[in-house]
Structure 1
Amino acid sequence: MATTLAVVGTGPTGIYAFRSLIRHSTPLVIWLFEKGEKAGIGMPYSPETASKAMLANIASIEIPPVVTPYLDWLQDLPQARLSSYGLAVDELDDRQFTPRLLLGEYFRDQLMTLVDHARAAGHQIEIREKTEITDLVAQEGKVILHSANGPLTQRFNRVIVATGHVFPEAEEASRTYFPSPWSGLIDAEIPAARVGIMGTSLSSIDAAMAVANQHGRFHRKGEDLTFKTDADGLKITLMSWTGVLPEADFYCPLPYLPLQEMTDAALARCLSAPRPYDAIFDLFRAEILQADPAYATRIGIAKLTADSFPDAYFAEREAQDPFRWARKNLAEVEYNKAHEITVPWRYAILRMHEKIDAVVADLPEDDRERFDTGLKKVFVDNYAAVPSESIRRLLALRDAGVLEVLALGDPYDLDRTGEKTVIRAKGKTLVFDIFIDARGQKPLTTEDLPFPHLRDALLEAGQEIPEVDDAYQLIGAEDFAGRISFGALPYLMHDKPFVQGITACAEIGTAMAREIRQDAARRKRRRWA
């Protein structure tokens, strides 16, 4: 009898898992479940949560190909379709940031191609769209899936959970408050009023664009971008503790060149040191010194510690007007891209974040707390650099008198008073007619799991956070042992703080599918033995 598998969620993680599953030489039965309208798009790339103005924060060169590389797929599109997204076929390149909706179309198209390939290879594929899985129940060595219509009659040998990002539903929003940019903001009519946006990352920029585009238009003349509006009273405020804007994405060699000091072996030795986090910082310091001595001297890295480095890293930016810094940074990165110049210290930090992500879960608790309030902020700032076009748009809104950035400091008070949101910070009181919380995905716990039986089994096993092995098999829930591959990113962020992103989706999806294929092969050998 063929192994029967369920993939719950058909965003990038589910797609990369499916791509790897269908390489199995023996035919499989695979069911794909998607709660959205169409399988394969993924929440961040769907029309319900994004507009054409919102850019993906990853260039085609960084996207692991599904069937066809993203750039090749783009170049095969009709010019009329590209034009609808403001793109021209002769201007496409592999380091370009394209609209998020277009990336969703790519993943949808690639999934459908994979389905055709799978069926041609003898696999049985069932796609269930507009089907939200509400529970997973272990029974007699199989897993039963429940939807809103009750339990499915099909029983599954294995289930891949690839449910992706989790944000408040649109029903939790009101006319004046949005708990996330993905909670109905795209379809809402926002008046020309005082709009507060919590956060200064790309999610916050997207929220600002969603509001601004309702009241004006961006106009390009050569390299200059301006924003024109006739709306009186529109004022958008981006805010965070520091008021620091993200920097523009910078040029660097891809794939990554190897690090010189922070090797896997060196990191492993750090974990057995008396003070692991400080030993890791010694490696971090050595890598910066080796890569960029001038920057190391300028920042005084020789005298810095793991706890003081983040303050030194952000000090110059925090001391300057955020828009002045953004304009200078934009000019620098655009020059460097045109001349293929790499800033060594930026590139070193970018490569180190992936190495450190692999060992964070092994740090002692006090070291983990120091990391979360220290170097983690540096790495996030570095790898979450945004498309240059996003910075141009912020500057255009600022020049139009529409946008400001506010450093709240810590602590600050936030109150919802009737239809208004009131923030008190640094002795000032700010009142917003519209408020959008755009601080991005938060790590989730077992209590947040939407599958009651699985949730109760994990809690009974004492798991406040779902635990997985190297192949992302869920561990600790005895009834589900060997049955659940768990690649739901928000629940993995506790031990893998940098796990968000398409490359992580590809790695996780592939690892889950590889283990399932190997397990199916072992079972087949045992049957024939």
Structure 2
Amino acid sequence: MKIAIVGLGPTGLYTFSELVHADTPMDITIYDEGEWAGAGTPYSRQGASRLMLANIASIEIPVLNGVSYLDWLKSCPPRILSDFGIEQEDLNERLFTPRLLIGCYYHDQLLTLQQQAEQRGYVVRLNEKTTIVDIAEKAGRLRIERSDGGVDEGFDRVIVATGHDFGEDKASSSYYPNPWCGLLSADVPAARIGIMGTSLSAIDACLAVVAQHGEFVEGDQGELTYRTDEQDLKVSFMSRNGILPEADFYCPIPYVSTTIMTECSLMACTSKPNVLDAIFDLFAKEITLADPAYAARVNLTDLDADSFPEAYFAERMGGDAFAYARKNLAEVERNKAAKRTIEWRYAILRMHEQVEKLVPFFPDSDLSRFERGLKRVFSDNYAAVPATSIRRLLALREANILDVVTLDDDYELIRSQTTTTIRSGEDSHVFNVFIDARGQKALRTEDFKFPSLRKILVEDDQDIPEVDDRFALISPSSLRKRVYLAALPYLMHDRPFVQGIVSSAEIGAKVAQDIVSNLDGVQIEDGREVALQEDVIAA
């Protein structure tokens, strides 16, 4: 079996790990655009710095190659950890670490996996700093075309795991279409900086800028301040709701199963005339059971899938974003010290992945309502950020560096060669440097970077690439179970919460297991693969 993995961030790496631990040696060729395969853009030296924290605790990072992230950290020399601001005594399962350190873990595991695979009889070719420009069929197999003009042929399976894709919009000295397009290496002036978004990506973009012009200093009592001599440095976060993310809250890990929202009760919703409303009924009952005081406080019995989001965000929408952030941070730190869980928040956290499974069953009207309402609630809840990130934002606010701007729904963005202007209502905001940190958008077939594969899918009337539950292309039949689409941006339509390391591990396991399970059922004949099981059915 000859396999190509195109893109080796976390998804490609977890896939590779599963394949390496199969019983049958394979021929695996890996292609990655970066110089540090395994890490993926957000965890690479090009996309992350020591200041940028991941919003996933050590215990939540899926084990790779039998080595947990925490065990790997404990094996690191103290001087390495110290470089990242971590001491050996700080290590614990709830520790939030710099994304760059997670990238080190992934790259290290890749090199170990490659060595183990070769010792077990695998052929592994690792091609870093390699861009793939096309994937095509040839004589019943698949071929890979590289940007250097080279061509690799004869692949039985191709796994597309290309990760983040922000299109062809190019960065300039005054405009960055995403935080990972050279911002870290750029010389950003101390000027008016506009950052679209308020998520962890926006915080990272902010840190990339302010780190060039000052430093965070921790006092004797643990208070954090930001010091700079630059009077012209001003940073504005912008969003339609004008709020900041909450600090990550304490809760049991692994998650405790929900009581009312079960797989059986959720599937029963699909037979109801109003799927979303039936799901919200379970959602409300689960919250009421978990935290009756909260349910009473927001009058949950009077709310529905459309009105609950307003109640959820109410306290944060009306006032000062930084005042709420300061209050929320104090609450989170008290609860972590006491190991106390805010039960209604924990209930929402445990329900988002369950609800995601029913998104494909939503009629268009329900999908639109979900995206305007409950999806925003779930996204805000699970995207809580490390407490240290909030402390840094508050330090920047105290230094008169940072503010938050609330935009109208119909705001206008106007770019020139040297500035970006945001017009919202009667207000205009002009920025010398603008960074779009709104995150990854769901992509369609027309966005596919591989023209031959794109042409086949377009001719098959696939506006969005269609994959099965193992992420193999469903059609056309010539590509079925031969091309696997594990690139997260193309999976977000039916899986709105698919982003993140945990999703990468789950997708990688399913892809690899599907390939391995079909090894015994495939024969090669005259350059064409024939699935024995399908032959039996056809006969």
Q: TM-score, normalised by structure 1?
A: 0.97
1:10 equivalenced with 2:8 (yes/no): yes
1:60 to 51, 58, 61: 58
Q: What is aligned with 2:204?
A: 206
Q: What is aligned with 1:330?
A: 329
Shift of 1:396: 0.1
Shift of 1:312: 1.1
Shift of 1:216: 0.7
Q: What is aligned with 2:239?
A: 240
Shift of 1:228: 0.6
| Distance (whole Å) between structure 2 residues aligned to residue 402 and residue 203 of structure 1 | 18
| Distance (whole Å) between structure 1 residues aligned to residue 315 and residue 398 of structure 2 | 23
Q: Describe how 1:30-429 pairs up with structure 2 within 5 A.
A: 30-67=28-65, 68-150=67-149, 152-168=151-167, 172-221=170-219, 222-429=221-428
Amino acid of the residue matched to residue 54 of structure 2?
A
Asked whether the equivalents of residues 484 and 511 of structure 2 are also in contact (C-alpha less than 8 Å), the reply is yes
Asked whether the equivalents of residues 472 and 511 of structure 2 are also in contact (C-alpha less than 8 Å), the reply is yes
Aligned-residue identity in percent: 52
Supply the RMSD in Å over aligned alpha carbons. 1.5
Q: Which moved more, 1:171-180 or 1:449-458?
A: 171-180
SS in 2 for 1:83: helix
SS in 2 for 1:435: strand
| Distance (whole Å) between structure 2 residues aligned to residue 126 and residue 413 of structure 1 | 48
Shift of 1:526: 5.8
| Distance (whole Å) between structure 2 residues aligned to residue 225 and residue 428 of structure 1 | 33
Asked whether the equivalents of residues 167 and 182 of structure 1 are also in contact (C-alpha less than 8 Å), the reply is no
Shift of 1:150: 3.3
Amino acid of the residue matched to residue 364 of structure 1?
P
For residues 419-461 of structure 1, the C-alpha deviation after alignment (integer angstroms, 9 at most, x for no partner) is 1211222421211111111101111111111111111111111
| Distance (whole Å) between structure 2 residues aligned to residue 197 and residue 379 of structure 1 | 23
User: Aligned pairs, how many?
Assistant: 525
Identify unmatched segments of 5+ residues in structure 2.
Answer: 524-530
| Distance (whole Å) between structure 2 residues aligned to residue 105 and residue 243 of structure 1 | 35
SS in 2 for 1:150: coil
For residues 204-240 of structure 1, the C-alpha deviation after alignment (integer angstroms, 9 at most, x for no partner) is 1111111111111100013210001110111100010
Q: What is aligned with 2:435?
A: 436
| Distance (whole Å) between structure 1 residues aligned to residue 21 and residue 188 of structure 2 | 48
Shift of 1:151: 5.1
From the superposition, tell whether residues 228 and 367 of structure 1 become closer, same or farther in structure 2 (CA, over 3 Å). Answer: same
Asked whether the equivalents of residues 167 and 183 of structure 1 are also in contact (C-alpha less than 8 Å), the reply is no
Amino acid of the residue matched to residue 117 of structure 1?
Q
For residues 356-403 of structure 1, the C-alpha deviation after alignment (integer angstroms, 9 at most, x for no partner) is 111111211111111111100000000000010000000000000100
Amino acid of the residue matched to residue 9 of structure 1?
G
| Distance (whole Å) between structure 2 residues aligned to residue 509 and residue 157 of structure 1 | 18
| Distance (whole Å) between structure 2 residues aligned to residue 234 and residue 23 of structure 1 | 51
SS in 1 for 2:375: helix
Asked whether the equivalents of residues 141 and 153 of structure 2 are also in contact (C-alpha less than 8 Å), the reply is no
| Distance (whole Å) between structure 1 residues aligned to residue 521 and residue 336 of structure 2 | 49
Shift of 1:479: 2.8
Amino acid of the residue matched to residue 452 of structure 1?
P
SS in 2 for 1:97: coil
| Distance (whole Å) between structure 1 residues aligned to residue 468 and residue 386 of structure 2 | 35
Asked whether the equivalents of residues 168 and 180 of structure 1 are also in contact (C-alpha less than 8 Å), the reply is no
Shift of 1:168: 4.7
Amino acid of the residue matched to residue 107 of structure 1?
Y
SS in 2 for 1:182: coil
SS in 1 for 2:279: helix
Asked whether the equivalents of residues 412 and 423 of structure 1 are also in contact (C-alpha less than 8 Å), the reply is yes
| Distance (whole Å) between structure 2 residues aligned to residue 511 and residue 12 of structure 1 | 14
Q: Structure 1 runs of 4+ off > 6 angstroms?
A: none
| Distance (whole Å) between structure 2 residues aligned to residue 210 and residue 219 of structure 1 | 16
Q: What is aligned with 2:25?
A: 27
| Distance (whole Å) between structure 2 residues aligned to residue 149 and residue 173 of structure 1 | 23
Identify unmatched segments of 5+ residues in structure 1.
Answer: none
| Distance (whole Å) between structure 1 residues aligned to residue 340 and residue 309 of structure 2 | 25
Amino acid of the residue matched to residue 337 of structure 1?
K
Amino acid of the residue matched to residue 181 of structure 1?
P
| Distance (whole Å) between structure 2 residues aligned to residue 154 and residue 330 of structure 1 | 55
| Distance (whole Å) between structure 1 residues aligned to residue 417 and residue 196 of structure 2 | 19
Q: What is aligned with 1:457?
A: 456
